[in-house]
């Protein structure tokens, strides 16, 4: 109280909203900053290889979108749902992946990351439970936490999430949704087998649950046969929001992603997007639509696979000589990541310190755990280095492992 008996008014501006307090800034982003020092061979980021970006094709696509006949609309405000030509191209792509899709089912988003934010805004009330794989994609965890969700891990094994564990969890937690990356998972590289996809879809149908199926990596397959999307399987058809993106198969800088939502949710998602950004960049959508019409995405992806497959093989082939005895790691059929579990007693943060001294980097696995972190885990990405660089980087990592033993 001041002399006049009035409450003291603070002159400091008010604090950030409470819902942000428990959301850690991504330690992965901070680690990435450390690993970007010149000379460091980094297996840390989940980045596509820039030498494979189709710069000439995109230059042509932007020139077309900015031509005298088009710039009046391609530089103008536009509809929230997205560029009609792009939505048609996306619907065709989804059909080719085994998911019959009408262009009206598609909402273009600013990266698939925005789709996660919109879903959280539309479905989650503070305190609601959201089920996720353990470990899980970190920025999805952040989205759900920002919306005030209780994030609950579903038990997972080498094949991904265990659908049998789901019924008990759903009864106990009454979750709004289950978030899954069933194909070439980030961070583990795992793929959910078809029988588990079927069991998951049937369980979602039975248990009354939304499924968010996030698939940025599915087309980057280097071995094995494509599996059906969960969204296409009995039980899941009317309750799965399917997400994908051009980030991993074309370029991430365009920030073109999308979601395919059941009719019941579409209106609310469009309203949430209006509130977020009105619409995704018109010029970027127009360029993407032109690129997809003028260029051959299948051929482009075949080119990516031809480069990434030997990089994956170089990494997997060398790991037995590099990691401490008793380590385990995944052998992904596609995507960008290999997930390592060091023997008990190892701490990936300690190993990273030694590794950075040797000018090699990776991401420790603990930030990807929604509940109890496993500090002996780490993620290695194999996409951005040649086989020769991978061999050099892994030689340094072997030295860092030896340093840690001393």
Residue 384 in contact with ligand PMP, rule: CB under 6 A: no
**Cβ distance to ligand PMP smaller for residue 175 or 218:** 218
| 9 alpha carbon, distance to own chain's centre | 45
Residue 186 in contact with ligand PMP, rule: CB under 6 A: yes
One of 44, 45, 46, 108 touching ligand PMP (CB under 6 A): 46
Kindly report the CA angle at 224 between 112 and 374, in degrees rounded to 5? 60
* Segment contacting ligand PMP by CB under 6 A, of 80-88, 188-196, 245-253, 268-276: 245-253
One of 247, 330, 377, 381 touching ligand PMP (CB under 6 A): 247
* Segment contacting ligand PMP by CB under 6 A, of 111-119, 125-133, 339-347, 350-358: 111-119
Q: How far apart are CA 65 and CA 129, in angstroms?
A: 43
Q: How far apart are CA 215 and CA 306, in angstroms?
A: 20
* Segment contacting ligand PMP by CB under 6 A, of 110-118, 143-151, 275-283, 340-348: 110-118
Strands 129-133 and 177-180 come out as parallel
Whole-number Cα distances in Å, 92 to 95, 100, 257, 264, 292: 5, 8, 15, 22, 11
Residue 332 in contact with ligand PMP, rule: CB under 6 A: no
Q: Which of 154, 151, 188, 186 is nearest to 169 (CA)?
A: 154
Greatest alpha-carbon pair distance for the chain in Å reads: 78
Q: How far apart are CA 245 and CA 252, in angstroms?
A: 8
- Count how many Cα atoms sit within 13 Å of the Cα of residue 238 in the half-sphere of its side chain: 6
Applying CB under 6 A, the site for ligand PMP has a residue count of 13
Min CB(88)–ligand PMP separation in Å: 20
* Segment contacting ligand PMP by CB under 6 A, of 31-39, 106-114, 291-299, 358-366: 106-114
Min CB(91)–ligand PMP separation in Å: 18
- 8 Å CB contact between 231 and 99: yes
Residue 214 in contact with ligand PMP, rule: CB under 6 A: yes
**Cβ distance to ligand PMP smaller for residue 143 or 319:** 143
Q: How far apart are CA 177 and CA 194, in angstroms?
A: 21
Q: How far apart are CA 396 and CA 346, in angstroms?
A: 18
One of 189, 216, 229, 367 touching ligand PMP (CB under 6 A): 216
Whole-number Cα distances in Å, 42 to 32, 145, 235: 9, 29, 42
Q: Which of 170, 154, 232 is nearest to 203 (CA)?
A: 170
Min CB(378)–ligand PMP separation in Å: 16
One of 74, 80, 101, 113 touching ligand PMP (CB under 6 A): 113
Residue 383 in contact with ligand PMP, rule: CB under 6 A: no
Residue 213 in contact with ligand PMP, rule: CB under 6 A: no
**Cβ distance to ligand PMP smaller for residue 110 or 282:** 110
**Cβ distance to ligand PMP smaller for residue 111 or 235:** 111
**Cβ distance to ligand PMP smaller for residue 45 or 393:** 45
- 8 Å CB contact between 294 and 61: yes
Token digits for 12? 């400091």
- 8 Å CB contact between 32 and 384: no
Residue 111 in contact with ligand PMP, rule: CB under 6 A: yes
- 167 CB contacts (<8 Å, ≥6 apart)? 203, 206, 207
Helix (H) or strand (E) holding 351: helix 348-357
Min CB(191)–ligand PMP separation in Å: 13
Contacting ligand PMP within 136-175 (CB under 6 A): 137
- 8 Å CB contact between 281 and 78: no
Residue 252 in contact with ligand PMP, rule: CB under 6 A: yes
Residue 257 in contact with ligand PMP, rule: CB under 6 A: yes
One of 58, 181, 241, 286 touching ligand PMP (CB under 6 A): 181
* Segment contacting ligand PMP by CB under 6 A, of 108-116, 141-149, 224-232, 260-268: 108-116
DSSP 176: S
Min CB(118)–ligand PMP separation in Å: 12
Residues that bind ligand PMP (CB under 6 A): 46, 111-113, 137, 181, 186, 214, 216, 245, 247, 252, 257
């Amino acid at each position: 109280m001041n002399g006049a008996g009035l409450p003291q008014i603070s002159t400091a501006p008010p604090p950030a909203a409470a819902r942000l307090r428990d959301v850690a800034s991504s330690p992965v982003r901070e680690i990435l900053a450390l690993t970007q020092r010149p000379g460091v061979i980094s297996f840390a980021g989940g980045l596509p290889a820039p030498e494979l970006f189709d710069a000439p094709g995109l230059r042509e696509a932007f020139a077309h979108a900015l031509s005298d006949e088009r710039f009046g609309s391609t530089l103008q405000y536009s509809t929230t749902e997205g560029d009609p030509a792009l939505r048609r191209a996306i619907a065709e792509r989804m059909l080719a992946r085994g998911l019959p899709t009408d262009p009206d089912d598609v909402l273009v988003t600013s990266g698939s990351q925005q789709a996660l934010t919109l879903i959280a805004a539309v479905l989650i009330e503070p305190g609601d439970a959201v089920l996720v794989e353990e470990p899980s994609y970190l920025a999805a965890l952040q989205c759900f936490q920002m919306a005030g969700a209780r994030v609950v891990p579903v038990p997972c094994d080498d094949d991904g999430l265990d659908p049998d564990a789901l019924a008990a969890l759903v009864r106990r937690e009454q979750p709004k949704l289950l978030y899954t990356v069933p194909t070439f998972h980030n961070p583990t590289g795992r793929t959910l087998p078809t029988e588990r996809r079927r069991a998951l879809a049937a369980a979602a149908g039975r248990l009354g649950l939304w499924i968010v199926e996030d698939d940025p990596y599915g087309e980057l397959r280097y071995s094995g046969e494509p599996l059906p999307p969960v969204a296409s399987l009995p039980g899941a058809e009317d309750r799965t929001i399917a997400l994908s993106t051009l980030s991993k198969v074309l370029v991430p800088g365009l920030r073109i992603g999308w979601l395919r939502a059941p009719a019941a949710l579409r209106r609310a998602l469009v309203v949430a997007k209006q509130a977020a950004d009105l619409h995704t960049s018109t010029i970027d959508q127009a360029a993407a639509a032109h690129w997809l019409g003028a260029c051959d995405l299948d051929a482009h992806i075949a080119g990516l696979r031809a480069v990434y497959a030997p990089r994956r093989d170089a990494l997997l082939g060398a790991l037995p000589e590099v990691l401490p005895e008793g380590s385990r790691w995944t052998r992904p059929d596609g995507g960008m990541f290999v997930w390592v579990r060091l023997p008990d007693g190892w701490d990936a943060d300690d190993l990273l310190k030694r590794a950075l001294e040797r000018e090699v980097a990776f991401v420790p696995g603990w930030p990807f755990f929604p509940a109890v972190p496993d500090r002996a885990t780490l993620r290695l990405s194999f996409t951005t280095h040649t086989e020769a660089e991978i061999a050099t980087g892994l030689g340094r990592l072997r030295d860092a492992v030896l340093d840690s033993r001393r």
